[in-house]
Structure 1
Amino acid sequence: MSGTLVSSEIAEPYAQALMSLAQQNDLADQFGDTFRALESLFAESEEFRDFIANPVIDPEAKKSVLKRVMGDDANSYLVNFMMLLVDKRRIMFLETIGQQYLELLRKLNQVVLAEVTSAKELEDEQKQRIVEKVKGMTDANDVELKTSIDPSLIGGVIIKVGSKVIDASLRGQLRRISVSLKS
């Protein structure tokens, strides 16, 4: 837990500086798209995450891999930012910096993040109903859904928006019935 706190404290100034640069050059959403893609890459490839976090790997090798991952059409400001992170030995915080940047972008665009856990994959209509429900609860302009699947819920969903948690799962309902029967 304290490691997460330390990485957040290190990542925040970098994310804020990058957001400032992005806003000055009207690139905030473009950088956000890049960080979402990197977030997916970190989630899919433990090997990539370990490579980036490993302090023993040659910085030039990291730069080379990052340039290939970013592609030839990547924004030069963002590529230079990542090269700076490698030079300053802060590249291990790239994932946290990306998360912090996306949080700043959501605040800028008045978008809330709703983490939705369901027993099975949600259909588009169900996702849209959740988005509308969350918009009504939060008065946000838009809602970004982050979905995950947990078959142990049996049915229904758990929606987390900030510190609010709405447990509309069958498992949660059974747990509440069990508690009420015991008392």
Structure 2
Amino acid sequence: MQGYSAAIVEPYAEALMSLGQSNDQVQRFGEDICFLQELLASSEDLQQFLESPLINADAKKAVLRQLAGETVHPYVLNFLLLLAERRRILFLQGICQKFLELLRKLSGTVLAEVTSVVEVSEEQRRTIEDRVKAMTGAQQVELKVNLDPELIGGVVIKVGSQVVDASLRGQLRRLSLRLSGMNA
């Protein structure tokens, strides 16, 4: 299924990016895609409605017009309606993720997923961004912060396949491994 969805997601995301580039609307489309992601994340009912094969395309299009029609660019709305018509709206989350990935690549931005016990301050954000820029050579950094009380303290930063574990839990785990290695 993963390969099948990638074969569907990528061409649609690339087509939307191409449309945005040819109309000088890439940043606006990016904002619209973020709005759509937030909309989907905030309503599991909406996700289920759009993904349901039992609900016809016209009903889905009507809901999309109502929820996004006044907010998103008309081209993005038409794109959503096309997805509904072609029974591809269930791939909307994947298409949004792929579009934002393409947008980050275009703007020289990397996504850094930061996991912390508490919300990070602006000063901490700048420090993390500087560290990620130094690690990757990226021009810009987009931070996605997740909270995890089990870290005890510190942060874990993930950029692509690279992980920097500066959490107290990670330090304790490494110490435990060293100590168990000494006893062997």
What is the TM-score normalised by the length of structure 1? 0.95
> Which among 133, 136, 141 is matched to residue 134 of structure 2?
136
2:41 equivalent in structure 1: 43
User: Structure 1 stretches of 5 or more lacking a match?
Assistant: none
1:76, distance to aligned residue in structure 2 (A): 1.4
- Distance of 2:96 and 2:106 partners within structure 1: 15
- Distance of 1:168 and 1:6 partners within structure 2: 37
Which amino acid in structure 1 is aligned with residue 168 of structure 2?
L
Which amino acid in structure 2 is aligned with residue 125 of structure 1?
E
1:97, distance to aligned residue in structure 2 (A): 0.4
1:52, distance to aligned residue in structure 2 (A): 1.2
- Counting only pairs closer than 5 Å after superposition, residues 88-103 of structure 1 correspond to structure 2 as 88-103=86-101
- Counting only pairs closer than 5 Å after superposition, residues 17-166 of structure 1 correspond to structure 2 as 17-166=15-164
User: Structure 2 stretches of 5 or more lacking a match?
Assistant: none
Aligned residues: 181
SS of match in other structure, 1:140: coil
After the TM superposition, which of the residue ranges 47-56 and 89-98 deviates more from structure 2? 47-56
Which amino acid in structure 1 is aligned with residue 65 of structure 2?
K
1:178, distance to aligned residue in structure 2 (A): 0.5
Alpha carbons of 1:73 and 1:169: their partners in 2 closer, same or farther (altered >3 Å)? closer
1:5, distance to aligned residue in structure 2 (A): 3.3
> Which among 157, 169, 172 is matched to residue 171 of structure 1?
169
- Distance of 1:40 and 1:81 partners within structure 2: 18
- Distance of 1:5 and 1:50 partners within structure 2: 22
State the percentage of identical aligned residues: 52
1:77, distance to aligned residue in structure 2 (A): 1.0
RMSD (CA atoms): 1.1
